[in-house]
Amino acid sequence: MTVRPIDPHAVHVPQRSGLPPCLYVPVAARDVRAIEAYVGRVVRPLACRLPDRAVLVEAYEPRPLDARLPIWKQPGATVLHGALQVWVHVDYSPYKRAYARAFPDTVLADLVLDHVLNRRVARLKGFAYLRLVPVSRPVNSSHGGHSERWAVEYHSSPRMREVNAASKAAVQYADLADIVKMVGMEGGGSQMENVNDAQAWVVPPASDGSPD
């Protein structure tokens, strides 16, 4: 299995969250070529009339996981590097049907299909494809609203429009807030307290100095 390459132009996002390379999780891509370069192999289309608008991707192997990180003890952590992933175009509306074609046995009655990166922010940043993941309704609600409005306003500013237009990043990696949402933890209100607390998930435990 191919080890997933890292886009050097995109690492600033996870690095700001203190994430190690084994937690560089792609959540947005410029186009299908970027998906195939930095995410995985496109297995098949999932949209009938517009086959390139939704695709099933067989993900490349991530960098070796640091087993010391507490995040791997979270039940939902397996979704981060899921072997099969659904990626959809930012303007593709029937994405629920596309996801059902990929995973027909998945029951979504109590779940919401979430574009990990907000679609309006993705458009502002020039990313045309987004990863879909199922999350609970409370988790989806707790990560929306205030933080997403702030992100839209921030990336709508003249300065950030220039920055985003000049960016050479082919993909965007998840930040800590994205990771928290993907594993199924609520954000914790307008101050995102739970996200702040989750910083401990991505730091190896301090050694107590005792012999093995």
pLDDT of residue 108: 83
* Arithmetic mean of pLDDT over the chain: 88
* Contacts for 20 with CB less than 8 Å, ≥ 6 apart: 66, 69, 202
pLDDT of residue 36: 98
- The pLDDT tens digits for 66-90 are 999 999 999 899 999 999 999 999 9
20 neighbors 32 (Cβ within 8 angstroms): no
Is the pLDDT score of 210 beyond 80?
A: no
Is the pLDDT score of 133 beyond 70?
A: yes
pLDDT of residue 24: 98
Cα-Cα end-to-end distance for the chain: 33
Is the pLDDT score of 188 beyond 60?
A: no
> What is the token pair recorded at 149?
């409005």
pLDDT of residue 192: 54
